[in-house]
Amino acid sequence: MTFEELVSGELNRLYGGALFLAAGNEAAASDLVVETVTDARAGRFSAPVESSAATRWLEAALARTYARSTAEPHSRREPPASAGQRPGARWGANDPEAFRALGAADLNAAAARVRPAARAALWLVTLRRWNHADAADVLSIEVDALRELLAGREDLLSGLVGRVGPRARKAGHTPE
């Protein structure tokens, strides 16, 4: 398989990940994909041994490119208040119907509530289902630091509850 064939088969998935990482900013997502593919083509990332690993290899390349472009200390801090936080908003575990209306745009917008380093960790572990050790390796951090970043799930879920809340209430559902 050529590099071009490999990338073209994964481009939609790569762009979808970039949109999450860029919190829905299409221009930033496009730039991230272009930078990732350019770096991968230039050999910046080690190539997959077999074609079945292509998806994972490109996900790792995207996460590394994103992490490099948004390098920040890995200390935990609160998301900005201007992100439209709803105090006390929590995951409606008893109301799964409230989340049926969610789409990629809702998820990408909610990602803006999560600091950039945590976004990469959440994308790899929560959305792409990577194990902690592999995700930490890709992000060049310790597993304990990755676990701290994954605490950003609450911010992401809070953002989702806030975005879904009005639609869910119209349907007769209210998140807890």
Q: How far apart are CA 35 and CA 43, in angstroms?
A: 12
Taking the complete model, does pTM exceed 0.75, yes or no?
no
Question: What does the pLDDT read at residue 145?
Answer: 95
Q: How far apart are CA 147 and CA 117, in angstroms?
A: 12
In sequence order, what are the residues at sequence separation of 6 or more whose Cβ sits closer than 8 angstroms to the Cβ of residue 48?
Answer: 54, 56, 57
In which band, very low, low, confident or very high, does the pLDDT at 162 lie, cut at 50, 70 and 90? Answer: low
pLDDT (mean) for 17-40: 94
In which band, very low, low, confident or very high, does the pLDDT at 101 lie, cut at 50, 70 and 90? Answer: low
Q: What is the DSSP string of 76-118?
A: --PPPGGGT--TT----TT-GGGGTT--HHHHHHHHTTS-HHH
Give first-to-last CA distance, the chain, whole Å.
49
* Contact of 74 with 149, CB cutoff 8 Å: yes
> Is 80 exceeded by the pLDDT of residue 76?
no
Q: Where is average pLDDT lowest: 31-40, 53-62, 67-76?
A: 67-76
User: Each residue of 164-176: pLDDT tens digit?
Assistant: 444 443 444 444 3
Q: Quickly list H helices, 23-95.
A: 26-41, 54-69
Question: From the CB of residue 76, how many other CB atoms can be counted at a distance below 10 Å?
Answer: 13
Question: What does the pLDDT read at residue 46?
Answer: 65
Question: What does the pLDDT read at residue 82?
Answer: 36
Query: How far is CA 60 from its chain centroid?
Result: 12
Q: Which two tokens stand for residue 43?
A: 């050999």
Q: Where is average pLDDT lowest: 6-10, 11-15, 84-88?
A: 84-88
Specify which of 8-17, 22-31, 62-71 reaches the highest per-range mean pLDDT: 22-31
pLDDT (mean) for 95-104: 60
Nearest to residue 60, comparing CAs of 74, 39, 42, 75?
39
> Is 50 exceeded by the pLDDT of residue 81?
no
> Is 60 exceeded by the pLDDT of residue 20?
yes
Q: How far apart are CA 37 and CA 62, in angstroms?
A: 8
